């Protein structure tokens, strides 16, 4: 069995409020990065997460689960063959890896990630 959950990501209307909430509730730590307003979330164990301001194309605040894959292009093909959709094509994260955003056959959105 492969493709474990490797990362989660909040897209928030108010990232500071989101940090406060999850910090108060779960004691999570937040570390801002140099990646244009992206914050890494340390939950104390794997997987860790990320937090960003909700982009305009996202219909509402949300959380994505990212699954670790060996080959994004092949996984994208399998998603399409199984009746899913691709919302964001494979994109490089410099010095980190690659990601894509997909939807399953019911429209549930999730991410794919491949390490560099």
The pTM assigned to this predicted structure is: 0.84
We find that the CATH architecture of domain 69-116 is Roll (3.10)
Domain-wise residue ranges, the chain: 1-66, 69-116
State the Cα–Cα distance between residues 71 and 74, nearest whole angstrom.
6
CATH of span 1-66: 3.10.180.10
Compute CA 30 distance to the chain's CA centroid, rounded to the nearest angstrom: 16
| 51-82: pLDDT as tens digits | 999 988 887 898 989 999 999 999 999 999 99
Instruction: Give the pLDDT of the chain (116 residues) as one tens digit per residue.
Output: 578 999 999 999 999 999 999 999 899 999 988 777 899 999 999 999 999 999 888 878 989 899 999 999 999 999 999 999 999 999 999 999 999 999 998 888 999 999 99
State the Cα–Cα distance between residues 114 and 80, nearest whole angstrom.
18
Same fold, 1-66 and 69-116: yes
State the Cα–Cα distance between residues 41 and 10, nearest whole angstrom.
10
């Amino acid at each position: 069995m492969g493709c474990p959950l490797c990362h989660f990501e909040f897209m928030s209307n108010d990232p500071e409020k989101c940090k406060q909430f999850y910090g108060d509730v779960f004691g999570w730590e937040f570390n801002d990065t140099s990646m244009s307003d992206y914050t890494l979330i340390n939950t104390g164990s794997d997987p860790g997460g990320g937090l960003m301001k909700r982009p305009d194309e996202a219909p509402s605040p949300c959380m994505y689960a990212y699954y670790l894959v060996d080959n994004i292009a092949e996984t994208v093909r399998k998603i399409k063959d199984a009746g899913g959709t691709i919302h964001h094509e494979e994109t490089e994260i410099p010095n980190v890896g690659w990601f894509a955003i997909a939807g399953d056959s019911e429209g549930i959105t999730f991410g794919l990630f491949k390490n560099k």
